[in-house]
Amino acid sequence: MDKYNHWLGKFVGKLNGSTRYAITIGQTAYFSVPEAEVSAWWHRHEDEHKRQWRDEGRIKFLCTYIYYQCKYGYTNNPYEIAARKAETAQPEMA
């Protein structure tokens, strides 16, 4: 279940110089803003991170994410590239 207007999203956003921020830990996204301000594409971005957490496993994902972050930076982090790609993906039809 996602959290909105959450201190964790606000806190990490502040560290990154942004008031509009979200951090996804496991299957929960902590948004800094109220739900009404979170667009569909932003949800898709964070949902992709949930998939990454689930598919890779918590420890492996976290270690690899941090490694990529140091090596490539945020923009070129392969997990972020995948999440940005997911933003524009069509919703899956069940």
CB 94, min distance to Zn ion, A: 25
Question: Rounded to the nearest whole angstrom, what is the least distance from the CB of residue 36 to Zn ion in the complex?
Answer: 21
Q: Which two tokens stand for residue 86?
A: 């997911």
Residue 24 burial (C-beta neighbours within 10 Å; 0-12, 13-18, 19+) = buried
Ranges within 31-60 binding Zn ion (CB under 5 A): none
> How far is 31 from 6, CA to CA, in rounded Å?
6
Partners of 23 in beta bridges: 30
Question: Does 23 participate in binding Zn ion (rule CB under 5 A)?
Answer: no
Q: Which is nearer to Zn ion, 47 or 80 (CB)?
A: 80
Q: Residues in the site for Zn ion, rule: CB under 5 A?
A: 80, 83
